[in-house]
Structures are given as C-alpha cells and as structure tokens.
Structure 1
Amino acid sequence: MQETLPLFLEDPYLSTAEGRVAAINDRGGILLDQTCFYATSGGQPGDIGFLEREDGSKIEIAATVNGQSKAEIIHVPSNDQAVPQVGENLALHIDWPRRYRLMRMHSACHLLTVVCPFPITGASVGENESRVDFDMSEAIDKATVSERLMELVDGNHPIFARWIDEAELEANPGLVKSKNVRPPRGSGRIRLVCIGDEAAVDSQPCGGTHVSETSEIGTIHIGKIEKKGRENRRFRIRFGELPG
C-alpha cells in the first residue's frame, strides 16, 4: 500500500502544492507522495482540480478517494487524460472556490450539532446545501435553529484541530456524536476539530477540512427540516438568509 502525506490536515487553506508520482494503480488512479487534495470521507466530497506537469500540460482530476485505507489517497483522472510517469514531479491545484464552500459548509454542520445536541445518524456536505440527520423525536422550528446558528457564526469563534490518543477518546466517549460511525482506530491518535477558545463551543473527532473561524462561514439558514421515521429528523443547511 502506498501511503500519501495528507497536507490538508495541517493546512486546509493550501490550494496548491507539489507532489511526486509514487504509483499508478490498475485503474489509472494516481498516487503521490504528498497531496493537498482531500479524499472523500466523513460526508465531505473529495477535491477536484488538476495536476500540472513540467511541460505545462494538465491532468484533470475528477475525484479524490481513499484506497485500502485513509492513508492511501487516489487522484482519479477524468476520461482520456495523459498518464504521468512514476517518479514525475507535479504541481497540484485543487478547485479552490469549491473546496472553500465545502469547508464553510462542513464547519456549519459542526455548529448545527451544537445547536441540536442529539446523536447524529447521517450527514452529507455539499457546495450549496448540506444535511445532518439526528436521532430526535421532538419538533423544532427552523427559524429558531437558524437564529442560533447565526449567533455562533457571528460570535467569530476560532476553529482549530488538535490530536489526542485513543485512550483519551475512550475516557471521553461523549466526544463522539455519531450514533453509528466510530472514528477509525489503529493509528494511535485521533484528530479533534474544536470550536471556541479552549474548545468551549465544541470538540469532536473529524478528519475534514474547516475554516479557521466561524465568521468565515457566512450567512446560513435551515432550509428544511424533514421527518425521517418516528425518531429521526433531517436538517438541510443552506447559504444565505432564511427566506421570508
């Protein structure tokens, strides 16, 4: 298995980087020694963009996914793209406007779990709309939730990551908000995404990319709350003002 250094974990704002081709898999997927491309995981879509060769030609990337494990990151070219050589050095360019919207949306999803502190049963991050499903039976007003979300956004709380060991997570099971999915184990450490000074607002395991402060999220609202079963509610987060 070819492991890739995930540069996005330390710097989610890194829109360009350099990488060396470490392998080409049997489907034409490109594996690099390091990358700023995020691979689909945790409800957040993988990055798209292009790889630039030394002669200036481009290899369009249609998706980024994990291989046998999260340590293996595969850049999937669009159809009819050139195949680079193993050992070739490339300049990596993600579609930054798309990534930044996903970062803002993913951070908004974390704020929603603060406003609605119920077990999470599903989530999906999108460029224009995201959804989070909660194990909850009571009804709640979307205008009230939207107002509470914007209070957190306008509070301009810092967002940062820190690492803990697996033993610390075991000692603090409340950090895991997902009802059905547990953080991957085996590496010896877990990445937490924290919001607020000293994580006063929130702290939960997450490998995704986020903005550095809540004000960057911008104006958001709950566009819809759907009942999905007797004890499940689906919240849809959208950019912009709540329509009057």
Structure 2
Amino acid sequence: MTELAYQLDSYLQSIEARVAALDTETHAVQLDRTVIYPGGGGQPHDTGLLETPSQTYPVIKAKKIGGEAWHYLSPETPLPAVGNAVTVRVDWPRRYQLMRTHTAMHILCGVIYRDFGAHVTGGDMDPLKGRMDFEFENLSRDLISVIEEAVNREVEAARDVRVRILPREEAFQIPDLIRTKINLLPPEIAEIRTVELVGLDLQADGGTHVANTREVGRMRIVDYKSKGKINKRIYVEMED
C-alpha cells in the first residue's frame, strides 16, 4: 500500500520513493510512497514531477485505486523501470492554493453547521474557488452577507488546523464527525483521518490543508443558487 506522506504533513513538497508497479496501457506508475495527492472528497488531484538523475517525468494526473496511488505520466516520456528510485515533487504553488481552498470549505461548512445546523449535500473545488451545497430551504442576499462576515471572522481568528489518524471505532465516537448528508466512508476503512479547525470544525477528511485559518486569506461569497427545495449552492473565492 502506498505511503501517503501528505496525510500528516501537507507542507512536504518532495520525497524519495521507488517505483512499485507499472501500467503501460494508461502510462502510469505506482509508487511505494508519495507527496502527490491523488484526488478525492471534492479536492482535485495534484500535479508534479518524478525525477531521476537522467530523466524528468511530468505527473499530469494522480488517482488512488485500491489503496495504491497511481501517477499518470506525460505520454511524451518513457516509463521508469520497476524498482527505480525517484524523487517525487509536487507542484507547490497549485498545491498550496488547493490547501487554502480546502480549508476555506471547512470554514464555510463549520460556520453554517454551527450557526444554522445545515448539513452539506455536495461540494467541489478548484484552486482558490469552490462551491458547497447545503440543506437550506431559504437563502437570501442578506443571509449570504451574514455568512460571509462570519467566515472571515474565522479566518482572522487564526484557528490552528490539526490532523489526526484514529482507529475507526474511536473516530466514530466523535459527535457529528460526518458533516455530509450521507456517510461516504467505506466500511472496510479501519483508520479515519480527521481534520480539526480548533474551536470551529472537526470532520473526517482525506485532503490537504493549511496549518492555520489565517493562511486562507479573505473569502468572498460570489454567488448562490437554489438547487432544489431544500438544497442551496454557495460559491466562494479566495484572494490570490
């Protein structure tokens, strides 16, 4: 199983690894360890590079399949051999923007759950922008302004962001650990990674995050839409 080094240190930008397997049909390699996030939970995959003394391999996509992280390489480069040592480097500017964005989504989710008791019904993000759907029956421009002020107070509160990996039984003793309407965690997962915005939000989560809410920067709610009788979508952007 691939060691996912980013799970405990999202700021790790490179790591030494070995090629564990190849998929010549999709031009992908499996590594024994990685810093490249393979996507999931609404957060896009990272991009980056694999490097050897003689070759650089652009990583254009990554995906987790059955506990293994696969890195899809540019078809213009040959595949490295199984057993080769490689340096794995993440595209850091893009990754850091996604870290800020993902933490912003948790701030939004935490504020709306705390202040209105609304569950998340869906979400998606790109660097410095994202959207989340909530169980709201009514949503107005005035309420959007209230929410925007509240989320930016949480940014300025400089709340620490803490990551832990817990046994499944211990994790599910935490009240409201799953903030989505449906629990999407497969029953075979024995350990649960939790992300806590101290004093605001605590959820099961597999993505990458900044260490403090102040790093997110100012958040703007740029739009909102009705997606059903009790389903409203909120669009958020962060300053570059």
How far apart are the structure 1 equivalents of 2:37 and 2:96? 12
3-state SS of 1:8 partner = helix
- One-letter amino acid matched to 2:41: G
The alpha-carbon deviation at position 165 of structure 1 amounts to 2.3
Contact 1:54 1:89 in 2 (8 A): no
Corresponding residue pairs, total: 233
Which of residues 11, 14, 33 is equivalent to 1:13?
Answer: 11
Stretch of structure 1 that moved more, 5-14 or 72-81: 72-81
Cα distance in 2 between the residues matched to 1:13 and 1:59: 22
Q: Report the 3-state secondary structure (helix = DSSP H, G, I; strand = E; otherwise coil) of the residue aligned with 2:102.
A: helix
Distance 1:29 1:152 in 2: 41
8 A contact 1:157–1:214 mirrored in 2: yes
TM-score (norm 2): 0.92
In structure 1, stretches of 5+ residues that fail to align are: none
- Residue identity over aligned pairs, in percent, reads 31
Equivalent residue for 1:99? 95
Residue 175 of structure 1 aligns to a residue whose secondary structure is: coil
**Hey, what's the Cα distance between the residues in 2 that align with 1:162 and 1:169?**
10
CA apart distance, 1:187: 3.5
CA contact (8 A) 1:149 1:221 kept: no
Which letter does structure 1 place at the counterpart of 2:79? V
Counterpart among 191, 194, 197 of residue 192 in structure 1: 194
Query: Could you say if the C-alpha distance between residues 10 and 52 of structure 1 is closer, same or farther in structure 2, counting changes exceeding 3 Å?
Result: same
In 2, the alpha carbon distance for the partners of 1:95 and 1:171 equals 36
What amino acid is aligned across from residue 57 of structure 2 in structure 1? I
The offset of 1:173, in angstroms, is 5.2
* Pairwise CA RMSD: 1.5
SS in 2 for 1:182: coil
The Cα shift of 1:136 comes to 1.5
> Following the alignment from structure 1 to structure 2, what is the Cα–Cα distance between the partners of residues 132 and 139?
13
CA contact (8 A) 2:111 2:200 kept: no
Structure 2 unaligned spans of 5+: none
